[in-house]
A and B are shown apart, each in its own frame.
Chain A
Amino acid sequence: GESVGLHLPTLSVQEGDNSIINCAYSNSASDYFIWYKQESGKGPQFIIDIRSNMDKRQGQRVTVLLNKTVKHLSLQIAATQPGDSAVYFCAENSNYQLIWGAGTKLIIKP
């Protein structure tokens, strides 16, 4: 029979709008979280990270929000551009390893 691939959540955003990508993590003891961007044909690339003693951290056009109460992480991208098209992964640390989420595919509509 035909094999079924991993179904990635997809977010479609108009160019110029803000994007919000959400992630739920599993371990309430995790003290470090990280977002990666993976463009087609490339390896994942670091975007931004945050430690558990913070609830917000800003980078260039990106902001990560951490809500430890509900174990939720979000990545906000301001003024989304065509180059932002990619799969975005969140990850949490566990004994020097990263536990990865399934990823969210971001599509930019012209």
Chain B
Amino acid sequence: DAGVIQSPRHEVTEMGQEVTLRCKPISGHNSLFWYRQTMMRGLELLIYFNNNVPIDDSGMPEDRFSAKMPNASFSTLKIQPSEPRDSAVYFCASSFTGSLNYEQYFGPGTRLTVT
């Protein structure tokens, strides 16, 4: 199994530009999570999908952030326009919520730098 796949691994962009982060969850998993990790705030849940439907987006910082899951094998997190304070590592994780455990499998992350 390839695990959770994220792209790009690193992204450097200028303030005001649009950024799109991509995630391919583990095949068969029905839940997908986007997290942001910074030194200031640690690991924060941004949004959670179940069966491709957004369930909880209360962690999305503001309207500049949006996430989609058009099908079970792909999700995007978009920031438009980007700001320097968006610099962080963004993780995607997936899980199968039909099981009796709640283990989430994390991707390698995308390190975003906004200058």
Contacts and interface: CB of A to CB of B under 8 A. Distances in A.
A42 B41 CA distance: 17
Interface stretch (B61-69, B71-79, B98-106): B98-106
B107 interface: yes
A103 B101 contact: no
A5 B40 contact: yes
- Size category, A interface: 20 to 34
Contact of A49 (B39, B48, B101): B101
Given A32-B102, A34-B102, A97 B48 contact: yes
Contacts of A98: 45, 102, 104
Contacts, number: 56
Interface string B82-115: 0000000001010101001111111111000000
B107 A43 contact: yes
Contacts of B109: 42-43
A96 B45 CA distance: 13
A6 interface: yes
B106 A45 contact: yes
A100 B38 CA distance: 14
